[in-house]
Structure 1
């Protein structure tokens, strides 16, 4: 019994180390790295578009001038909103979008002159 457990543990360890070696070899390839970067940028762009569409179509944010940017699933919401309630609403809506890891606030409340 002990012999089979040791063999199983050695087999798992060998498979793990072999997998680590293959993954590091694959990431040394510039074409693979470029494809990964392009894929991440496409995912960020799509995520930013989803958040921006949600914020622009929300009736509670009417009168807001909002810009959205995304990098590594971190959303930055910038621009101006009419009041503090709209600011909170924008941040809450953005954080509820699937795939968003973090939301950063770069918005300002538009103070009438």
Structure 2
């Protein structure tokens, strides 16, 4: 059975693949794996004037549910808190949005579903 290091390495590869996929669609990578109070921001990207906080979720298949289902209201609150901390720490004031990219499959055959403005900070 794979250990936590294997899962972490696989997660890093999927996040890199998602970042490359989004860059091919015009987003610019600013940072990845930003640890902030209350959570971690997988990808911080720029889309025009907007700073985009991207949550990357991966499942090999949808047998145990689609990856989008894992971005619960509790997870959203944690991401919002981490994003606010990131903005404060970097002294940024700009339009922001929260995207989710659901990745299914095994490398190199990954499928991406990009949900822009998946939720809002309330």
TM-score (norm 2): 0.34
* Greater share of strand: 2
Choose 1 or 2 for highest CA Rg: 1
* Greater share of helix: 1
TM-score (norm 1): 0.36
More relative contact order in 1 or in 2 (CA 8 Å, sep 6+)?
A: 2
